[in-house]
């Protein structure tokens, strides 16, 4: 498929992480049981510096050891590499995690945990603006809060904000919806040749996620770029 896997680290005696996913038939919602295996073998010393070749964007979540996450964020700042952080599974983050963070993508639950608010605070536009402002004050440049069927709210360091409506879709399986959104958004970031248009990126990511939830499965449900 054209993916450069030259920098993938292979650990002798370790197994790849495995996730078992149970999908509720009527709603399409899922529950995930994770065995991290090699994911938890990634250590801070692996990020003494960002391995070459220099990436255009570092995409991270919290399914590797937390001290490794923090060291990778620091290494990216030192190398002036922008970071997209999707802090899942959610936990409170120290102040330095937000410093100069280019993109923060969270769902309602994650936004509530990280900001210290209640999920009910995100039910109206005023609450979304307040919570988005909390992350901007901490140093994030682009805040994206995904709201399921309600759409996506975003706020930027230069004063832009909007609630983008979700696309209607027949929900079969929500597995990989968030992964698809983050992947599509990241692609829009690295594809931007001059000024990054966050609104266009979010609308494209919404389209990709809507297609994902209409299909069964995880990786197999994620659309190819040519399908969009």
Bridge partners, 144 (sequence order): 105, 154
Give the N- to C-terminal CA distance of the chain in Å, as an integer.
Answer: 18
* Catalytic residue check, 179: yes
- How many other CB atoms are found less than 10 A from the CB of residue 23? 16
Q: Out of 173, 179, 191, 199, pick the active-site residue.
A: 179
Q: What is the DSSP secondary structure assignment for residue 219, as one 8-state letter?
A: G
Q: Identify whether the C-beta of residue 107 lies closer than 8 Å to the C-beta of residue 209.
A: no
Residue of 35, 45, 32, 41 whose CA lies nearest to 10: 41
- Max Cα–Cα distance, the chain, nearest Å: 52
Q: Please count the other Cβ atoms lying within 10 Å of the Cβ belonging to residue 13.
A: 6
- Determine the Cα–Cα distance for residues 156 and 143; give it in Å rounded to an integer: 6
If phi > 0 it is left, if psi is from -120 to 50 it is alpha, else beta; for residue 70 that is: alpha
Active site residues: 179
């Amino acid at each position: 498929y054209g993916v450069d896997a030259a920098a993938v680290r292979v650990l002798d005696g370790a197994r790849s992480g495995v996730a078992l996913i149970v999908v509720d038939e009527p709603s399409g919602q899922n529950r995930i049981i994770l065995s991290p295996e090699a994911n938890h073998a990634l250590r801070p010393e692996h990020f003494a510096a960002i391995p070459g070749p220099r990436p255009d964007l570092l995409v991270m979540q919290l399914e590797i050891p937390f001290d490794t996450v923090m060291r990778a964020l620091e290494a990216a700042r030192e190398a002036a590499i922008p970071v997209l952080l999707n802090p899942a599974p959610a936990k409170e983050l120290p102040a330095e995690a937000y410093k100069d963070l280019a993109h923060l993508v969270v769902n309602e639950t994650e936004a509530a945990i990280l900001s210290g608010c209640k999920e009910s605070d995100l039910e109206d536009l005023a609450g979304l603006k307040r919570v988005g402002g909390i992350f901007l004050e901490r140093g994030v440049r682009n805040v994206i809060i995904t709201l399921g069927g309600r759409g996506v709210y975003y706020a930027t360091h230069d004063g832009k904000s909007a609630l983008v409506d979700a696309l209607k879709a027949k929900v079969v399986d929500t597995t990989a919806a968030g992964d698809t959104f983050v992947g599509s958004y990241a692609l829009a970031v690295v594809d931007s040749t001059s000024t990054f248009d966050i609104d266009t990126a979010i609308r494209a990511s919404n389209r990709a996620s809507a297609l994902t939830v209409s299909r069964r499965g995880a990786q197999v449900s994620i659309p190819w770029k040519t399908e969009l």
